[in-house]
Structures are given as structure tokens and as C-alpha cells.
Amino acid sequence: MSGLEKLQKSFESYFAHRHFPRDPSSLYDPLEEFLLNSGKRIRPVMCLLGNELFGEIHQDAYHIAAAIELFHNFTLVHDDIMDRAPLRRGKPTVHSVHGEPTALLGGDAMMVVAYDYINKIEAHYLKNVLALFNKTAKEVCEGQQYDMDFEKMHTVSLPEYIKMIELKTSVLLAASLQLGSIVGGASEGNQNHIYEFGRNLGIAFQIQDDYLDAFGDPTKFGKQVGGDIQSNKKTFLMIHALETATGEMREILLSAIAENPVNKIELILVVFKACGIDTWANALKEQYLTNAISHLDEIAVSKARKESLRELAYYLITRDK
């Protein structure tokens, strides 16, 4: 078992208990159930890794990891309402089973319980931890708002998209690492580097996500390949294609977007390949990975201690599902 798998198991065993009161069960039981349908627990594991990089893992890192996991799940419950999504991780979403009011209120309660976990940590770093947690939570909300705003916009530039991804996805990964590092006793300089490692890695992670939607192996990729293309989602690939495609390719692209032909995904993939969007995306991902690793290199601990974070980085950006 790798270092990552060990931490994942260790977090699961800490997290395997009831998080909410019994009553009202109409509010809390759907939340317990949602948390069991787990996902990969990437963020809590990153929190534990952030601690481990600087010292033995302290109980407080588990508390913060739980808070992060609850916060992340709260955003999923609310995002699913906003997106009117019927499914999440292959199961019906909370609002589609229990109704919007309960999903909305349940998300609220989940967020409060996240703060309960934060409040379990030792008092001396509570203020710092809470400050970073709050800053991140606000940024995640901002990212979601930009994402919704972008849906209504005709064009979105690459820098605008990257800023949105940074807020919506990257900062929570980065903060997970930094929060763990605070518990581990990292200096401010090292905290900054581990945050930047996570922020850059988060963008590379999203590029991989967007890439898999278009070029993933349908036998491995959990979702329908081309789902983003079908729904005209502005992704790294689509934004770059719109910025670079010319001549016939541009015409095919624009008419496929406007007219939704039955072979839309196929047509747009032809454009993506012809314009070298796949190669471009991989190169951009490598660039963010390189930035991330350079910050990891700067952290003043032995190279051996950094192995798990390096493993995580390569796992996240080479995954095929």
C-alpha cells in the first residue's frame, strides 16, 4: 500500500462515524447517506499530507481534514441544486430524492458542522486556521458564481477561465495542504510554498479533467466522454479552440456549437485534433505541474519527505478517470 493509500484509509477510519445529531432525521439522515457515497477523499488526504511533510500527524489535522471534507460535500450538495443535477457519483442527488428545501438546509447544516470540526483544534492556531478556512470558503463561492456567470457569456478568455478554476477548485486543494502544514508547524515561507504547490497542481488537475472529458478512454472514464462538448461547456480545450481555430475548422466548430448536430462530439473532436488542442492542453498541464513541483522543491524539508506529495501530483494529473 502506498503512502497515499495509507492516509486515505487512516482518514476513512477516523471519519467513519455519525457527524450529525439524530433529530430531525429528515434533515440529517440524507447528509449521513451522502457522505457515505464517498468519492476519493483527495482534500482530507492533502490536509494530512500537509501535516506529515513537517512532522508527525497530529489529531488536529484529522479534525481539519473532516471540516474540509464536510465543506467540500456541502458545496456539492448546493452546486447540484444550482445545476439541477440529477446524479452525483452515480447516485441520485440529495435534492432530487429529498426535495430542494431539505437539500438547501442540509447543505447549510453541513457547513456549520464543518466549523464544529474546526473548533475542535487547539486554541493557539484556531485563529489562523479559521482565517484561511474562511478565505477559502469565500473564494470557492466566488468561483461558483463566476462559473454560473460564464454560462451566460458569449466568450470567456483563458485568463478569466483560469481565474475561475483557481477559485472554484484550486484554492481548496491548496488550502487543504496549507491547513495541514499549519498543524505540522510549518514556517510562513514553507506554508506559502505548499499553498502554491497546491494552487498550481489544482489548475493542472482541472486541465486533466477537461482533457479526459474529450479524450478519455470511455471504458475507464466514469462519465460520458464528450459531456462538456455536448453541453457547450467552456473548458480549457473549448476556450483555446475558439481562440485558435481558423478557416474551415472554425466554421465547423462554430456551426457545431450553434446547431447541435447529432455528430456534434465527433465533429468538435476533429477540430480539437486538427488544431492540436490535445497537445496544447498536455503542454499547459505540464507547465502548471512544473510550477507546482518548483514550489515543492523550495520547501525546506528533506527530499524523501516530499515523496508522497510528488506521488499525489503525478497521480492527479495522469489519472485516466
Contact positions toward a second copy, by CB under 8 A?
Answer: 21, 23-24, 26-27, 78, 81-82, 100-102, 104-105, 107-109, 111-113, 115-116, 118-119, 123, 126-127, 130-131, 134, 137-138, 141-142, 144-146, 148-149
Of the two residues 22 and 262, which places its CB atom closer to a second copy in the complex? Answer: 22
Using the minimum distance from each CB to a second copy, give the nearer residue, 71 or 272: 71
Q: How far is the CB of 246 from a second copy (least distance, A)?
A: 32
Complex with a second copy: residue 83 or 298, whichever CB lies closer = 83
Amino acid making up residue 224: Q
- Looking only at Cα atoms, what is the longest distance across the chain? 63
C-alpha grid cell, residue 67: 471540516
CB of 179 to a second copy, least distance (A): 14
Q: Which residues contact 152 (CB under 8 A, 6 or more apart)?
A: none
Rounded CA gap, 219 and 229, in Å? 18
CB of 196 to a second copy, least distance (A): 22
Q: Which of 139/209 has CB closer to a second copy?
A: 139
Nearer to a second copy by Cβ, of 179 and 269: the residue is 179
Alpha-carbon span 160 to 149, nearest angstrom: 11
Is the CB of 52 or the CB of 166 nearer to a second copy? 166
| Sequence-separated (6 or more) residues with CB below 8 Å from residue 17 | none
Measured from the CB of residue 74, what is the shortest distance to a second copy in angstroms?
8
In the complex, the smallest distance separating the C-beta of residue 283 from a second copy, rounded to whole angstroms, is: 30
Helices (H), the chain: 3-15, 25-36, 42-52, 59-83, 94-98, 100-118, 126-151, 158-165, 171-183, 188-215, 227-230, 236-244, 247-259, 264-274, 277-298, 307-318
Give min distance, CB of 28 to a second copy, in A.
Answer: 9
Q: How far apart are CA 159 and CA 156, in angstroms?
A: 8
